[in-house]
């Protein structure tokens, strides 16, 4: 259970950093808005993202994994569509936000250490 909460906190912080750095990413509701978006993104990452990865496996192999950034952006775009709390101005901004969220989450998880 602790691992889930730590992952949720890391995702929340990553979304907050992306919203702070990218003017085209808007999260309403302050702290709890970020927590809500992180919860939805966590669910999308757990349920939808594995299916997307499986369906796009050939192109991911051809691009040596670079297409996973597009899969992450599609997942974030789905969260944007599902949530009224998150608003991203376009797909290019969604792609950049997915990159920022991925890098920040990776750095935070490396700093904290895996459970």
Work out the pLDDT band at 4, boundaries 50, 70, 90.
Answer: confident
* Cβ atoms of residues 38 and 61 within 8 Å: no
* Cβ atoms of residues 1 and 84 within 8 Å: no
Q: What one-character DSSP code corresponds to residue 87? A: E
Distance CA 114, CA 94 (A): 27
pLDDT higher than threshold 70 for residue 115: no
Mean pLDDT of 54-77: 95
Work out the pLDDT band at 3, boundaries 50, 70, 90.
Answer: confident
> To the nearest whole percent, how much of the chain has pLDDT over 70?
98
Task: Read off the pTM.
Answer: 0.89
Strand, coil or helix: 59: helix
pLDDT higher than threshold 70 for residue 114: no
């Amino acid at each position: 259970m602790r691992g889930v909460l730590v992952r949720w906190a890391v995702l929340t912080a990553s979304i907050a950093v992306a919203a702070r750095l990218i003017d085209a990413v808007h999260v309403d509701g302050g702290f709890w808005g970020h927590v809500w978006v992180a919860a939805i993104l966590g669910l999308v990452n757990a349920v939808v993202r594995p299916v997307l990865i499986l369906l796009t496996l050939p192109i991911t192999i051809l691009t040596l994994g670079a297409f996973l950034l597009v899969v992450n952006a599609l997942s974030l775009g789905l969260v944007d569509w599902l949530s009224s709390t998150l608003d991203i101005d376009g797909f290019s901004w969604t792609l950049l936000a997915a990159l920022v969220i991925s890098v920040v989450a990776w750095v935070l998880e490396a700093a904290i250490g895996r459970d």
